[in-house]
Every structure is written in C-alpha cells, then in structure tokens.
Structure 1
C-alpha cells in the first residue's frame, strides 16, 4: 500500500486525516511523523504537523512457521484432486472496511456575548509587547479606543525595523495581531489598526505632498499620470488628498496587487471602484 501524507495543526489531527484517506481504523495503519509543530510565542505553536501513513501490511509467515503447521498430507489418489470440491480462493479473509463517513462540521457559536473593545485592545497590546520582547527591542504598545475603533501605536528604539518596505511588515504584524485577538476572544466587530514609529502619519504626509505635485504636473501638461501600484490604504490617501483640487480627478485601474491610481484632467473618462 502506498504512503499518504497529511498536514494539520496537531499530530493527532494529521493522523485522523490520514485515516480518513486510507479508510481504515488506527490499529490497521502505521504512521511516520515527518515534522512536528514548533513551539512559538505565548505557548502557541508555529507551523503544522506532517504525517505519513499507510495500511499496515500483512506480515508473511516465516519458513519455520510454515513447517510447524502439522504433518504433511498424504498424497491423494490420481484424479482425486480433480473431483474434490474446493471453496473459492481469496486473497484475504478480512472483510472490506467501509470508508469513514466525513466528520460533521461544528456549527458556529451564536450565544457568545459581544466583546468589549477595551478587552480587545488589552489582548492586542499584550501580544505586541511580547513580540518586542521576543525581538529584544526596547519599546511599548499603547492603545487608544474610540467606540469600535482601536488605534495602537508602537514606539521605542529600533522598532522601525518592524515597518518594512512600504509598510509591508507593518501590515503583516497588524493582520497577525488581529488573528491573535480573535483566537483569544472570538470574532468581534472592532476595527484594529497598528502603527509603528509613527510610520502611517509620515506616509500619509509624504503621499499627500507627492499627489499634489503630480496634480500640478497634470494640470500643466494636460496629460494623465499613472502612479506605481499601491495598496488600498495608500490609494485612498491619494484620492482623499486630491478630491478638492480643482481641475483634476483620480481613478483606479488594474487588479491587486498591481492596482494603480491615475491622476487626470477633470472630465476625462474614468472608472474606479475604490
């Protein structure tokens, strides 16, 4: 029987997935743990467990075992073997096992009370402070809560290393913080935003200045300008910066991650879904 390979959050889950594919009970399978999940921050695991499994092969009888089966049968008379009735041959006396039925998906819980945004902010800042400590950086995360909006600012020495090129690392940390808070508290309706070393405000100011310069060039030349690809947050900054500039308009074109802002003279053809 060929090996099958499965991955899951834990070794036990990976084994269960393999048994589902093989259609046998655990006693009838053999496993090899290829990779175990690693321990991460705050006791959480990183990566996935990887397991190989196959149906346990039937062990062939040894020579000595075959010799001990009893006295040899006496030879039959000629023609006796042709006239005797014999049962149908079978490769195995074991009955075929029915495939396991698929596991039922658990229905989402609907009786959970709403999560207080202040509780979410505590979970998020705790995670971010732990991230700084794990990276041996001196700094802290401070949260401001306004209704369902949570703004967290991370400050300290060398924390700017967590910003990344054009804020890519910052966005990844923000997404990770959201996931951690949801894992701990369940789904919630809060809007969480993370800023590191004041990057967002600096980025907003720089993009706004750049957008106004581009608008001036478009008005002077009458030719549209297609900007470099931007994420949705940066595109919104450009749109908002030029919305009140007379004589120009902005639109977006293309598909993410290559979606761009076009700055053109007002009245030209436009199509945008930003």
Structure 2
C-alpha cells in the first residue's frame, strides 16, 4: 500500500498536509503518529514539527477495475474502462472491439462478470458498494429491446385476452418489464417459476 510521511506544526496540520498531497479525504487513509510536536526550549531551541504516516487504503472500485483489466488482458482484449459515480451505484463502462465474448448470450457473461466485480469491490471496501457493469452500452440497448417486447406482448394480450408467458429472464430484466407495463390499465404482470427459469406472465386486466 502507498504510504506518505507528512509534517506540520500540529498533528492536525500534518494530517491536513498529507491529505492535500494525496488529494483524498481522511476516510481513505490510516493515520499513524510518528512524532508529537515539541515547542523546544523557550519555544525556539529544539522545536520539532509533528510527523505522521498516512497509509492509503485500497479503493474497492479501483480494485474492481484492475480485476476487469486483468481478465481482458488474459483474453487478449484491448479495452478501455470508464468509471461513472451515480447516486446509488458506480457504473463501469467497458469499450473496445470484439466485446461480444464479454457480453455473452443476452448478457449472461456480463452479468456473471458484474457479480464477480461486486465481490472484488466489496472485499476491498469498508462500506457497501454496488457496481453496474456495462459493455458498449449493451444494457441500454437491452432495456430498449425489452421495453419494445413489453409493448408488443401487451398489445397481443389486449387483442386476444389471453395470457402471454415470456422467456426466462434475470430479476433486473423482469423489473424492466414490470416497470414498463405497470401503468397500462388493460394488462397486469406477475412472475412465475423458480430461478433461473423465472418468467414474467402478462395477463389481461378485466
């Protein structure tokens, strides 16, 4: 871990000087006092500044990004990784060529990677982190596809007045369907089955 020695007239000054050099907040470091300040004889002779050691704590998101880069390197993929801090999560966007292998069929590989990334991040964090992993805006494109599917199936249910059962989906994808149709006055949605084969059913609302 990175360590930095800093000094100041007081312990607080020394810590403040060290944090300024690192460009981080106090919750990102362990602080060890190496030397208390001394005014010396008559406040002049032998006066010593306070000395502290700041040890930089690992950042869970940075560790997760490093983990992703190692995976991409092992797969001989040239990728760029962008971190976006949001209100309730950290989004990590991967860009590059030939990322289909990282996305997998309907995003299954991407979901598995996201699960592993969250484990790595939280192992190196003293507070709960939620990371959303995306590649080439796959999740946004998938959301649009699911919303379009929701609209088509809702119209079919309204036309035939018969239930439609969709293919098995992840909980996140099911949430997209539920949210899309929750305000539709003519259809209702519910989930049926057990993971990983849990499905959404769209029914006619009498």
Q: Same fold (TM over 0.5)?
A: yes
- What is the alpha-carbon root mean square deviation over aligned residues? 2.2
Task: Give yes or no for contact 1:114–1:188 (8 Å, CA) kept in 2.
Answer: no
Task: Give yes or no for contact 1:148–1:189 (8 Å, CA) kept in 2.
Answer: no
What CA deviation, in whole Å up to 9, does each residue of 1:125-169 have, x standing for no partner? 222122222211111111101244100011101122111112111
Displacement after TM superposition at 1:115 (Å): 7.2
- Partner residue of 1:175 out of 102, 109, 115: 115
What CA deviation, in whole Å up to 9, does each residue of 1:48-102 have, x standing for no partner? xxxxxxxxxxxxxxxxxxxxxxxxxxxxxxxxxxxxxxxxxxxxxxxxxxxxxxx
Output the CA distance in 2 between the equivalents of 1:228 and 1:148: 29
Task: Give the unaligned 5+ runs of structure 2.
Answer: 1-25, 30-57
Query: Aligned in 2, Cα 1:266/1:115: closer, same or farther, shift over 3 Å?
Result: farther
Output the CA distance in 2 between the equivalents of 1:166 and 1:247: 29
- Partner residue of 1:142 out of 77, 82, 94: 82
Task: Give yes or no for contact 1:121–1:145 (8 Å, CA) kept in 2.
Answer: no
- Which residue is equivalent to 1:231? 170
TM-score by length of 2: 0.68
What CA deviation, in whole Å up to 9, does each residue of 1:192-251 have, x standing for no partner? 110112111111000110110000000001111111111101111111111122311111
Task: Give yes or no for contact 2:88–2:130 (8 Å, CA) kept in 1.
Answer: yes
Three-state SS of the structure 2 residue aligned to 1:128 is: helix
Matched, 1:131 2:58: no
Output the CA distance in 1 between the equivalents of 2:110 and 2:146: 17
Query: Aligned in 2, Cα 1:259/1:156: closer, same or farther, shift over 3 Å?
Result: same
Output the CA distance in 2 between the equivalents of 1:239 and 1:115: 40
- Which residue is equivalent to 1:207? 146
Matched, 1:120 2:57: no
TM-score by length of 1: 0.52
Structure that is richer in strand per residue: 2
Matched, 1:250 2:189: yes
- Partner residue of 1:195 out of 121, 134, 137: 134
Query: Aligned in 2, Cα 1:248/1:115: closer, same or farther, shift over 3 Å?
Result: farther
Task: Give yes or no for contact 2:118–2:129 (8 Å, CA) kept in 1.
Answer: no
Size of the aligned set, in residue pairs, is 153
Task: Give the unaligned 5+ runs of structure 1.
Answer: 1-112, 268-274
Three-state SS of the structure 2 residue aligned to 1:161 is: helix
The structure having more radius of gyration, on CA atoms, is 1
